[in-house]
Chains A and B, each alone.
Chain A
Amino acid sequence: MTDGELVRRTVAGESAAYGELARRWYYRILAFCQARLMTSQIHDAEDLVQEVLIRGFADLDSLSNPENFGAWLRGVAKHVCVDWIRHRQRIPRIVPVDAASADSLSVTQTEIIVASDERAVVLQEIAAIPEDLREAILLHYYEDLTYDQMAQWLGVARATVNERLARARALLRIRLSVLRSDL
């Protein structure tokens, strides 16, 4: 069933159809929000995704082309993130220090931390890389999209997707190696 059909069913009162839209777009919106919040605290991003989807439902009547639901929801997410960031700007935030760069360190062997809390460590390091790389890497692993699908969602060229993933992995390779060497 296409997005357009699900939107029309939702508008007609079939809330289960909106559940399907939520499942379909959840991780793409999560990657979007998580990339913009600059936080390793994933629950903040998850809260925002829920807010995006609820606001999306409330505003569904303003969606002129139901087939364009994904891109439209991305616009809703942008507004929700901006509101959240404006609110948080009044608070001193923990800003990741991006000391390592692909050019400044030479790493010959990457040892990946395999502890049970690996997820939190990885999220923390992802939060410290640039926003465009962050979204690409999250999107790739959450959704397993092809380069063409990612390019369409992000609005960039296919080669740019390849480049962003390569740069993100290069930075994470170094950051996780440095972390490992500190133990």
Chain B
Amino acid sequence: MNCETTLLLMNAVLDGELTSAERAELDRHLEECPTCREALSDLQNLDEALARALRPVSLEPVVSKILNAIDEPAMRQAKRTGHSAELTETIARVRSRGDGPPVTSRRTATGTMVLVLGTLAVAAVVILRLPDAAPAVAEITLATGSIDVQSSNSSKWTSVDGPSGVVLAAHSRIRTRNDSLCEIRTKSDTLVRLNSETEVVVHQPRQLELISGEFWCRTPTTTSVEISVPKNVRKPRSETTFTCPSSCETQWQTTADDQLRCTSVSASPIELKVSTGMKTSPRLRG
């Protein structure tokens, strides 16, 4: 037996799947191989951690939710007619109810993730906050790979290796690289996801500027958000600000020939209010 085949047996022994003959064979190898003994100890630690993290919880809340949904008159109608508007509506209602998913609520899950990322990045946290004048306006809640951050009072880019809990002051600039992505949540609860090679300025919780690249934005349920593009983007030809209504999802992109493209990802059409640079309000369809 070699160390490679031992790896499968070590996993099987953790899972209680070894025969007595295989177990004896494994024990013989472990007696002779300190590397595999250490590896088995590591696997046991990992197994315990995974078991703790993925421990099943009571399903009663979610089962009640499902039973309530299927007992609704609309669902009975949906059942009679197959896939239908009633079914879609019922599912939408189940999703939108405030009682949350069974294991952890959405709000709690998000909060936990932010907390986790913040905790993990204790050594790397960069507070890009001006002393008094510029309060925090947003936080980088998730980053894959390295991203660059620049505060408004400096021309220096700070590299941050995600995931990280970076707090952003007003007018901070964020730049992803060709192999990194990141997610930002502003203080107004606007959610922004930057694609690779994208640069964005977070002026205020409700004011964003796309310098280049592509990002997706979901506005809060209660307020609108302004998104501007710089003058060097040829269409529109001047600095322009778009006001996105509340509860909408849009995708913004500057193309290789410096044009701006905006697509609504919302289920229904939305109206963008344009404050300068364009005479009409474009109507976007999802």
**Using a CB–CB distance below 8 Å, which chain A residues touch chain B?**
15-16, 18-19, 22-23, 26-27, 40-43, 46-47, 49-51, 53-55, 57-61, 90-97, 99, 107-115, 117-124, 137-138, 140-143, 146-147, 162-163, 165-166, 169-170, 172-173, 176, 179, 182-183
Contact = CB atoms under 8 A, between A and B. Distances in A.
Closest 7 CB pairs of A and B: A141-B54, A122-B53, A110-B42, A46-B101, A112-B49, A166-B11, A92-B195
Given A47-B95, A50-B66, A57-B79, A172 B50 contact: yes
B231 interface: no
Nearest to A117: B116
Contact of B63 (A23, A142, A170): A23
Contacts of A138: 54
**Which of A42, A169, A183 has most chain B Cβ within 10 Å?**
A169
B123 A15 contact: no
B59 A112 contact: no
B224 interface: no
**Which of A19, A58, A166 has most chain B Cβ within 10 Å?**
A58
Contacts of B215: 92
A119 B95 contact: no
B62 to A, nearest CB: 6
Contacts of B120: 121, 179, 182-183
A57 to B, nearest CB: 5
Contacts of A15: 67, 70-71
B101 to A, nearest CB: 4
A143 B59 CA distance: 13
B104 interface: yes
Interface in B17-52: 17, 38, 42-43, 45-52
Contacts of B179: 97
Contacts of B123: 182-183
B180 A110 contact: no
22 contacts: A18-B66, A42-B101, A47-B101, A50-B69, A51-B94, A55-B87, A59-B82, A90-B265, A91-B216, A94-B142, A94-B183, A97-B180, A107-B42, A112-B45, A118-B52, A121-B53, A121-B116, A162-B12, A166-B7, A173-B43, A182-B161, A183-B123
Contacts of B45: 110-112
A139 to B, nearest CB: 10
Interface in B116-147: 116, 119-120, 122-124, 142, 144-145
A117 B46 contact: no
Interface residues of B, number: 79
B58 to A, nearest CB: 10
B262 interface: no
B259 interface: no
B216 A163 contact: no
B38 A109 contact: yes
Contacts of A165: 11, 15
A57 B193 CA distance: 36
Contacts of A110: 42-43, 45-46
A151 B43 CA distance: 22
A59 B79 CA distance: 7
A166 B8 contact: yes
Nearest to B105: A43
Contacts of B115: 117, 120
A33 to B, nearest CB: 12
Nearest to B146: A97
Contact of B181 (A90, A95, A124, A170): A95
Contacts of A57: 66, 70, 75, 79
A22 B63 contact: yes
**Which of B50, B110, B113 has most chain A Cβ within 10 Å?**
B50
A53 B66 contact: yes
B112 A147 contact: no
Contacts of B78: 58
Nearest to B45: A112
Contact of A42 (B109, B180, B265): B109
Contacts of A137: 50
A50 B65 contact: yes
A124 B116 contact: yes
Contacts of A176: 46, 49
B214 interface: yes
